[in-house]
């Protein structure tokens, strides 16, 4: 039995024991697994490698931290509530249009921050009461915002699992926007309609209005959306004319957060920023742990062993392994699944288009947020809609999860043909 395999089993075993049995945070569990790999391989504590690994995702950490500050500023200014008002008032009589738009609103925080929890706990909490008023059962409303959470997490411009997978093979996060849109937006439309259309009922504006924050929109009007518009424009300009506007996402988000301070309701910027960073710390810690874990796997030869082993697997079994192991490992952390399994699988699929393949693997990894016992997206969604047992929400997500896996595998299998279309 190769020593690298023993080392890999030891690292994953320590990680699983710390995360499940001892209930340590995922970040500390990854640190313990990394230390195990260093000690068993004869590299001692290897502080240098741990530090290097921690800074492996420093750019992603900066993006997430500043994105969370921007998202909190937008939320505090009242823009999310106002967006809800505009959409519902305009499209309340057209459910086939209203439901996909509400899905997009619920996805928005995840698209900006790369966190499904951010989507569920912010915009999801705004959208869920409206869905229930419109006639959706609480379980379906919970499934709606839980699905919005993971689709928002994968949709551009920020996709942390794809960043992790790409970072594992030194592939920059460039050119992912269109593949990620093709992966997520059709699913968002389909799932919003299948989860909600059959339940939706006609509701008068008088019945809806008391549940919405009309005063903020009446007071500030369209200027509430100025920070979101400015951030979107700067992102586009940063891609199209980077020589003039290539300032980087962190600075773009900080500019947007500063504008939000003057666009709507008054709030304490320092307090909002501290709260946003505190909410982001668990995710930032996971990224630091992922960096250490990958660094140690590379140092000890474990990463190369996994890649070689994956390359020797027949294609049919490889796709089956992707469909089963990545979501199951994601029960601990979808980010951990992206690093431990996503990177080797991407290397095993070098014959495919790498950008589309990495994007599809990230979508499969996002299903970890539905996997018990953690199932963060489903648990938070159940809490928001008032469902005691989150398993009732998960039942509504079983078939959509299989659809996501099949959709992602189709993108991987036909990645070259899809890439040739654009």
Q: What distance in Å separates the CA atoms of residue 227 and residue 233, rounded to the nearest whole number?
A: 10
Question: Residue 376 contacts by C-beta under 8 Å, 6 or more apart in sequence?
Answer: 116, 117, 369
Q: What distance in Å separates the CA atoms of residue 164 and residue 203, rounded to the nearest whole number?
A: 44
- pLDDT over 80 at 385, yes or no: yes
What are 228-267's pLDDT values in tens digits?
999 989 988 887 888 878 888 899 999 999 999 999 999 9
Can you tell me the mean pLDDT for 302-307? 78
**Model confidence, pTM:** 0.83
Tokens 């006639």 sit on residue = 135
What are 66-124's pLDDT values in tens digits?
988 998 999 899 998 888 888 888 888 888 999 999 999 999 988 988 888 888 888 88
Q: What angle is formed at CA 260 by the lines to CA 127 and CA 160, rounded to 5 degrees?
A: 65
Handedness of CA 8, 9, 11, 16 (dihedral sign): positive
- pLDDT over 90 at 281, yes or no: no
Mean pLDDT score of the chain: 88
- pLDDT over 90 at 37, yes or no: yes
Name the more confident of 403 and 170. 403
Name the more confident of 327 and 121. 327
Tell me the domain boundaries of the chain.
3-419
- pLDDT over 80 at 374, yes or no: no
Handedness of CA 135, 182, 332, 64 (dihedral sign): negative
The pLDDT assigned to 332 comes to 67
Q: What distance in Å separates the CA atoms of residue 55 and residue 167, rounded to the nearest whole number?
A: 12
- pLDDT over 80 at 399, yes or no: yes
The pLDDT assigned to 119 comes to 87
Yes or no: say if 276 and 69 are a contact pair by the CB < 8 Å rule.
yes
- In order of 28, 50, 176, 314, 413, the CA distances from 351 in angstroms are 35, 32, 18, 14, 10
What are 234-244's pLDDT values in tens digits?
988 887 888 87
Can you tell me the mean pLDDT for 372-401? 87
Q: What distance in Å separates the CA atoms of residue 109 and residue 380, rounded to the nearest whole number?
A: 15
């Amino acid at each position: 039995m190769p020593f690298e395999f023993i080392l890999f089993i030891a690292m994953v075993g320590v990680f699983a024991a710390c995360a499940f049995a001892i209930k340590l945070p995922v970040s500390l569990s990854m640190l313990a697994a990394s230390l195990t790999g260093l000690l068993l391989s004869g590299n001692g504590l290897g502080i240098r490698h741990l530090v290097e690994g921690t800074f492996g995702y420093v750019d992603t950490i900066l993006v997430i931290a500043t994105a969370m500050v921007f998202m909190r500023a937008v939320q505090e200014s009242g823009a999310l509530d106002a967006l809800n008002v505009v959409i519902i008032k305009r499209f309340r009589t057209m459910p086939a249009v209203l439901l996909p738009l509400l899905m997009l609103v619920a996805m928005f925080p995840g698209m900006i921050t790369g966190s499904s929890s951010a989507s569920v706990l912010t915009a999801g909490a705004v959208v869920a009461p409206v869905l229930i008023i419109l006639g959706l059962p609480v379980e379906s409303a919970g499934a709606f915002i839980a699905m919005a959470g993971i689709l928002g997490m994968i949709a551009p411009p920020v996709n942390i699992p794809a960043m992790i997978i790409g970072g594992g093979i030194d592939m920059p996060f460039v050119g992912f926007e269109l593949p990620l849109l093709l992966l997520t937006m059709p699913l968002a439309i389909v799932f919003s309609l299948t989860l909600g259309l059959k339940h939706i009922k006609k509701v008068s504006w008088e019945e809806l209005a008391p549940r919405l924050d009309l005063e903020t929109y009446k007071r500030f009007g369209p200027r509430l959306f100025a920070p979101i518009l400015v951030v979107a424009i700067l992102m586009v300009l940063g891609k199209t004319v980077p020589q003039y506007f290539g300032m980087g996402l962190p600075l773009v988000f900080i500019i947007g957060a500063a504008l939000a301070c003057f666009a709507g309701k008054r709030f304490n910027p320092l307090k909002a920023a501290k709260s946003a960073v505190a909410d982001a710390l668990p995710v930032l810690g996971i990224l630091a742990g992922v960096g250490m874990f990958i660094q140690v796997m590379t140092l000890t030869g474990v990463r190369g062993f996994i890649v070689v082993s994956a390359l020797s697997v027949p294609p049919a079994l490889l796709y089956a392994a992707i469909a089963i192991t990545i979501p199951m490992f994601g029960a601990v952390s979808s980010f951990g699944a992206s690093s431990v399994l996503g990177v080797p699988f991407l290397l095993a699929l070098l014959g495919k288009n790498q950008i589309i393949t990495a994007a599809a693997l990230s979508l499969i990894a996002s299903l970890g947020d539905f996997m018990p016992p953690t199932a963060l997206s489903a648990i938070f969604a159940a809490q928001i809609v008032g469902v005691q047992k989150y398993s009732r929400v998960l039942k509504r997500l079983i078939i959509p999860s299989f659809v996501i896996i099949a959709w992602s595998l189709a993108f991987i299998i036909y990645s070259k043909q899809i890439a040739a279309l654009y």
